[in-house]
Amino acid sequence: MPAFAIILDMDGVIVDTVTSLYQGYLAILSRYGIIGNRSEFNELNGPSLDEITHILSSRYTQIDSEEKLKQQFITLHKTLYQDASLCHGVIDFLQFCKDQHIPIALASSSNRANIKVIFDRFSLYTFFSHIVSGDDVQQAKPHPEIYQLAAAPFEQKVIFSLDDSPKGVESSLQAGLISVQYCQDTPLINVHSADKVSSFNEFRQLITQPITWFNRYSQYTFAISEFDFTPFNEAIDVYWQTHKQKSMFNGAAVLCSGLSANVVKVTQCDYKTVFYIQNNKSSQLAKHFFLFGVSGYVIKEQAILIAQRSEMVSQYPGYIECPPSGGFEKELGIEAYQQQLLKEFQEETAHPLEHVEEVITQGIILDLDANQLDILSAIKISDSAECIYKDNSEYQSLNLINIHSFKKIIQTDRALPECYIIAKLLGEKNENWS
């Protein structure tokens, strides 16, 4: 089974209708003596036609009949879909996914008739496992219903979505998907999206990377649920007794079953369950849960802290990493994820906490190969802090290096996948990056 699935929007993603829709929207409103604008059009990009006509009729007293307005938009759409062209690169992308056996669904606010026009014209049915239309939902975007329905048939717990509207992105974020915004027409940006792309080639590169953003929020809350591990306990115990290292301790741990925007769905367990899932990635538990922890990177002036992981660790031994990282300790509580990270920071670097000026949550990242989600945060330490690092049981060669040098090192040495996320993030934030 492929590691992930994909859900695509149609208008503005598969077919290039946005420009024509905007011109049609302006023309229809002008009949009522109303001057439309790009901001309002972007607001209406995502909701169903019924909702669009209701919003406009409620907003403008010049519109005397909501039904007449709706009929004008229906006429516009009929002409539009008969003449619309495919977005550049879409067929090559769909063929790539078909060749790689990556399942794709459609989640479009358009009605079934308009979808059928496009899918018949361009012979698209062969690329899609199923279709959810605006006719199939009670609530339009940004409500998550359409993406929830489109995601439900997939067995994969990792699902990417590609939508061009901020409301569509919000819908897929609420549905717990890795929401990517298609920005070819430079609409308003949803800052919580996992990423943004301007072409299908960029999207293909993104989905084939070993690590990606899941979403980007500055704060997360947690929904704790119970899970019956009883049917798996015997297998977990046998694996633990057979494969554990002497230094391992079976303490409390946390697993993640998914997200809904910035709400993280977690289940408490013990470490031997985590160890079992970590090393049995085709197991039923691994199909249901992500491993879950905290990660960070330490910034001092224009330098970043790096280290080499011990050869004794269970994942990525000997790789370059940006410390700190770790799991959740029961004593601190799941909600205190920044405190969890600072505890790891103090243990791994021996920095006193008074050196820390700020901890800034950046979002959640997914290492697909490791089946691992981490809340990623930046730790800014004082420019005047004295930094003397010593090797420890987890790391060696801890060193603050210039951000420019960091980019070069991770391109030539073995580095944890999240190092590439951090490098790109530093570039986005203009931290003296060129």
**Cβ–Cβ under 8 Å, residues 216 and 375:** no
- What is the CATH number that goes with domain 221-428? 3.90.79.10
Tens of each residue's pLDDT in the chain, 434 residues:
789 999 999 999 999 988 888 899 999 999 999 999 988 998 887 788 888 999 999 999 999 999 999 999 999 988 888 889 999 999 999 999 999 999 999 999 999 999 999 999 999 999 999 999 999 999 989 999 999 999 999 999 999 999 998 889 999 999 999 999 998 755 568 899 999 999 999 999 999 998 999 999 999 999 999 999 999 999 999 999 999 988 888 988 999 999 999 999 999 999 999 999 999 999 999 999 999 999 999 999 889 999 999 887 777 889 999 999 998 877 778 899 999 999 999 999 988 899 999 999 999 999 999 999 999 999 999 988 888 888 888 888 999 999 989 988 888 778 999 999 999 898 875 444 33
The verdict on domain 1-208 having CATH code 1.20.1050.10 is: no
| CA–CA gap between residue 342 and residue 261 (Å, rounded) | 24
Residue-range domain boundaries for the chain: 1-208, 221-428
Does residue 309 contact residue 318 with C-beta atoms inside 8 Å?
A: yes
- Nearest Cα neighbor of 91 from 202, 18, 200 is 200
Instruction: List Cβ neighbours of 422 (8 Å cut-off, separation of 6 or more).
Output: 297, 304, 322, 376
Residue 270 to residues 80, 144, 209, 314, 417, Cα–Cα distance (Å)? 57, 33, 30, 17, 26
Tell me how far apart the alpha carbons of residues 128 and 346 are, in angstroms, rounded to a whole number: 50
Helix 271-279 to helix 233-243 angle, to the nearest 10 degrees? 80
β-strands 372-381, 290-300 pairing: parallel
**160 within 8 A of 105, measured Cβ to Cβ:** no
393 CB contacts (<8 Å, ≥6 apart)? Answer: 310, 312
Torsion sign, CA atoms 15, 20, 24, 25? positive
Do 177 and 260 touch, CB atoms closer than 8 A?
A: no
**To 10 degrees, the CA torsion angle through 72, 185, 176, 330?**
-140
SS3 state at 346:
helix
Bridge-based pairing of strands 263-270 and 252-260 is antiparallel
Neighbours of 103 (CB within 10 A): 21
Q: Give the model's pLDDT for residue 107.
A: 98
